[in-house]
Amino acid sequence: MTGLATTVAAPATGAVPDPVLPTPESEVNITGLPFTGTTPDGSVRGYIDAHSHLFMEDGIGGAAVCGSVFSENGIADALQDCTAHGPHGGTALLENLTRNGSPFGTHDTTGWPTFADWPAYDSLTHQQMYYRWVERSWRAGQRVLVNQLTSNGLLCSINPGTYQDCDEMAAIRLQIADAYALQDFVDAQYGGPGEGWFRIVTDSDQARDVIAEGKLAVVLGVETSEPFGCKQTLRVFDGCSRSDITAGLDELYGLGVRSMFVCHKFDNALCGVRFDSGSTGTIVNAGQFLSTGTFWNARSCPADEPHDNNPGNVELPDELDWLPVPPRYPSGTVCNAYGLTSKGEFLVEEMMRRGMLIEVDHMSAKAADRTLEILEEAGYGGVLSTHSWTDERYLDRIYALGGFVTMYGHDTEDLIAEYRRTADVRARYDITGVGFGFDMNGFGGTPDPSDGRVTYPFTSLDGGSTLDRQVTGDRVWDVNADGVAHYGLVPDYLEDLRVTGGEPLADDILRGAESYLRTWATAESDATS
C-alpha cells in the first residue's frame, strides 16, 4: 500500500484474525466472530441494505460527495472535504442547499482526524461509507449490500467543482471499477484474492455461498436518470435506440450488474417518474425542466388508487430565483401523465430475458402499473421495491409475483410505523424477511439521534458480537447523540429498532438476506431467454 505504513492488528478475543491494515486507521470497535453457515432449515442469516451508494465520490462529476470509500494512501487521504467547498464551506452549493435550505452557509472542512462537522446524519455531501464503517456493519450481521451505481448529468453540469465526465454511463463504469478495486484492497488485507470480507457476487447461489462463509455479498445495481443515454427532450426527442439498450445491458451484465431502475429523478425516454414533494420537489422539478425542456405533468387522479406524490406549489427563497418556476399543480392526489414507453417496455423485457432484478421504485404509478402487468403476464418474479418509493398499494402485486420489498432507512419511529402498516400484506404471502434501503450517500438523509435509547456496549442483532461506541480519529460516535452519521452506526440504529420495536422486528430483519436471495433465484429461474 503505497506510501503508508502497515500493521498487523492484534486480534481481540473472538475477533476476525490478523488483517493487515494501514496505520493510522479507523477503528471498528466490535469483538466477536461473524456468523457463518446456515440456520437448521438451510436459510442464511443476516440483514440486508438493498439500496445504498458506495463510490458516489465518482458520481455527479466527482464533486457532489466529498471523500472516498478507501485510499491506498490511507484514511487521511480518503476522508477529505471537496476543494470546491472552499476553506470554510462557503462555496458548498449542494451541501448548503440540502442542509440549510439556502445556497449560503459554512462548515468545518477538516476531515481526519477531528471530523468536527461531518459526516453527519443531515450532511448529504460528505462520505458516509468509508470501508471500515461498512466493515463494522458486516461484522455486526449485515450479509447483503446492494451497491446502487448512480449519477445525474444535469446536476453534474451545474455543481461547482465538477471535474469528471457528466455522461451518466461513464460515471457508472467508473464506480464499477471502484467496486472491484475495493474488493482487491480488502483481499490484500486478508491474505490475497478471494480472502476478504467484501465479495461482489453475480448470482444467487454465489451470494448464498459467500454469506454462508460469513462474508458480505455485494450486488451491483444501477439507479440513474438517463441510462444508456435514454434522455427525453420536449416529449418528442430521445437519445437512445433499442440497439443502445441491448448493447448497454450486455455491457452492464458483463461487468457484474444484476439489478436496475428504469427511471430515477427525471422523466426519461423509458418512463415517467414518481414526483418528489415539497421544496425538494420544486427543485427537482426545475431540474427536470433544465434537463428535458418540460416540467412534470401532474394530473388529478383518484385517492383510492395508486398515485404519485404531489409536487406541491412551494415558493423558493429569493436566493433560488434563478431556477425556472414550475406550473401550479392541483391539490389532492395527483398522477404523472407519463408512463412506461415502448422503449421502457423493451428494456423491461430485455432485463427479464437476462434474469435481472427490476426496480419499480421511482416509477410513476402509471409506469409501475404497466411494468407489473408485463411481469404478471410473463410470470416473472424478479421485482424489487427497495426504499419506499412506490405506492404501497403495489406491495400485494410485488409479493404475489415473488418479489422483495425493503423500507427506506427512516428515523426509528417512522420505520416501525411502516413495518406495522405493511404487516398485513406480508402476512398474506407468508413473508417474514424485511430489509432496508438506507440510500446512504444518496442525498436522502439518514436516521436522526435516538435520544438515549441505546446503551453501550450492546450485543449485535445476530447475537454474535459486542459493539462499543465507534471511534474514528479523535471522534467518538454515539447514535444517541449523532444519529446514523455514517455507515458504521447502522448496527447501533438496529439496536435502537430492537429496543423500540421489539424482538419480532429484529427477527424479521435477520431474515432479510434470505428473502432477497429467494427473489433473486426466482428471477434467474424465470428468465425468458
- Give the contacts of 262 (CB within 8 A, at least 6 positions apart): 227, 270, 271, 340, 344, 347, 348, 358, 359, 363, 367, 371
Question: For residue 17, what pLDDT is reported?
Answer: 56
Helices and strands of the chain, counted as H and E runs: 17, 21
Question: For residue 11, what pLDDT is reported?
Answer: 36
CA atoms of 189 and 487, how far apart (whole Å): 20
Question: For residue 137, what pLDDT is reported?
Answer: 98
CA atoms of 22 and 39, how far apart (whole Å): 35
Query: Do the beta carbons of residue 127 and residue 57 sit within 8 Å?
Result: yes
Question: For residue 10, what pLDDT is reported?
Answer: 34
Query: Do the beta carbons of residue 183 and residue 163 sit within 8 Å?
Result: no
* More reliable by pLDDT, 316 or 529: 316
13 within domain boundaries: no
Question: For residue 16, what pLDDT is reported?
Answer: 56
Q: Per the structure, how many domains does the chain have?
A: 1
CA atoms of 468 and 457, how far apart (whole Å): 4
276 DSSP assignment:
P
Cell of 525: 429461474
Torsional sign, CA 391, 395, 400, 404: positive
How far, in Å, are 46, 147, 510 from residue 422 at the CA level?
A: 21, 25, 18
4 within domain boundaries: no
Residue with cell 447502522: 490
451 DSSP assignment:
T
CA atoms of 170 and 178, how far apart (whole Å): 13
Find the CATH number of the domain harbouring 447: 3.20.20.140
The band of 160, judged by pLDDT with boundaries at 50, 70 and 90, is confident
State the CB neighbour count (10 A cutoff) for residue 38: 14
Residues in a beta bridge with 30: 467
Average pLDDT over residues 75-103: 88
Q: Residue 488's closest CA among 503, 468, 513, 506?
A: 468
* 3-state SS class at 259: strand
Average pLDDT over residues 96-103: 81
Cell of 453: 435509547
* CA 390 to mean position of chain CA atoms: 15
CA atoms of 434 and 210, how far apart (whole Å): 20
Question: For residue 6, what pLDDT is reported?
Answer: 42
Q: Evaluate if residue 14 carries a pLDDT over 50.
A: no
Q: Residue 22's closest CA among 188, 256, 168?
A: 188
- Domain coverage including residue 216: 26-70+94-103+117-272+338-526
Q: Evaluate if residue 65 carries a pLDDT over 90.
A: yes
CB-based burial label for 100 (10 Å; 0-12, 13-18, 19+): middle
Question: For residue 239, what pLDDT is reported?
Answer: 86
CA atoms of 207 and 218, how far apart (whole Å): 8
452 within domain boundaries: yes
pLDDT tens, position by position, 193-235: 999 999 999 999 999 999 999 999 999 999 999 999 999 999 8
Could you list the beta-strand ranges (E) of 11-132: 20-22, 30-31, 47-52
pLDDT tens, position by position, 255-309: 999 999 999 999 999 999 999 998 888 889 999 999 999 999 999 999 999 999 9
* Max intra-chain CA distance, the chain: 64
Q: Chain-wide mean pLDDT for the chain? A: 93
Query: Do the beta carbons of residue 461 and residue 47 sit within 8 Å?
Result: yes
507 within domain boundaries: yes
Question: For residue 325, what pLDDT is reported?
Answer: 86
88 within domain boundaries: no
Q: Residue 275's closest CA among 338, 188, 200?
A: 338
* 3-state SS class at 251: helix
295 within domain boundaries: no
499 within domain boundaries: yes
Percent of all residues in the chain with a pLDDT value above 90, rounded to a whole number: 85
Cell of 194: 478471494
- Helix (H) / strand (E) containing 134: helix 131-139
**Beta strands 334-336 and 407-408: pairing type?**
unpaired
Q: Which pTM does this prediction carry?
A: 0.95
Measured torsion, CA atoms of residues 301, 303, 308, 311, in degrees rounded to the nearest 10: 80
* 3-state SS class at 121: coil
Average pLDDT over residues 431-441: 96
The band of 2, judged by pLDDT with boundaries at 50, 70 and 90, is very low
Cell of 303: 385517492
- Helix (H) / strand (E) containing 258: strand 257-261
Torsional sign, CA 132, 135, 137, 139: negative
CA atoms within 13 A on the CB side of 123: 25
Residue 167 phi/psi, 5-degree rounding, is -65, 125
State the CB neighbour count (10 A cutoff) for residue 474: 10
Per residue, what are the HEC states of 191-205?
CCCCCCCEEECCCHH
Average pLDDT over residues 141-170: 94
- Give the contacts of 62 (CB within 8 A, at least 6 positions apart): 161, 162, 163, 164
18 within domain boundaries: no
Query: Do the beta carbons of residue 352 and residue 380 sit within 8 Å?
Result: yes
Q: Evaluate if residue 494 carries a pLDDT over 80.
A: yes
CB-based burial label for 401 (10 Å; 0-12, 13-18, 19+): buried
How far, in Å, are 22, 169, 322 from residue 179 at the CA level?
A: 19, 15, 38
First to last CA, the chain: 44
Q: Residue 101's closest CA among 344, 319, 284?
A: 319
Question: For residue 7, what pLDDT is reported?
Answer: 39
Percent of all residues in the chain with a pLDDT value above 70, rounded to a whole number: 97
